[in-house]
Structure 1
Amino acid sequence: MAKGYWVSVYPATSDLEGLAVYDGLAGPAVRAAGGRVLSRGGRVVAREAGLTQRVVLVEFDSLDQAVAAYESEAYQKALAAFPEGVERDFRITEGVD
């Protein structure tokens, strides 16, 4: 079965304190749902038209598990704390089997 992934890119992060609050809620919610954080805002080496924006990559055992994690009560509480001063491009995608 193909794994599922959350892929987030952050074009704007003007509220780092608010982002830390969200991260403090989101991390435990993701782990409780079986997610494994593979990348979280580390160095980015951009090539071609790429941009050096914050990237977060989370792996789940399946796409269904990734969707269920997003829809979970715990993650929805974290999402309610997501700061207005942060812009994010968030996607849930299926990996290659």
Structure 2
Amino acid sequence: MSVVVVRCLEDGNIDMDDMRAKANEHSRNLAALMFTYPSTHGVYEEGARHLCALIHEHGGQVYFDGANLNALVGLARPGDIGADVCHMNLHKTFCIP
């Protein structure tokens, strides 16, 4: 397996056309998609549900890097968006040392 980088649009969202093309190209070996939500750039990925569905169609799993998840605590659940796994950095989200 290898890491495949997907392009981003100028607004910071993942380029869905590039993601779709790479998912098709690597479908036999697609294991997972990992993305930070919301992103390090402060972007709430508009196509998050579509990204998750696309990866699931190709047999992969979706991993949310919840490093910035404090912006969504109490408002959204990663599983409802389609994430299979999500981690949170408690020291960032809940100010735990």
Q: TM-score, normalised by structure 2?
A: 0.30
Specify which structure has the bigger relative contact order, considering alpha-carbon pairs within 8 angstroms and separated by 6 or more residues. 1
More strand by share: 1
Q: TM-score, normalised by structure 1?
A: 0.30
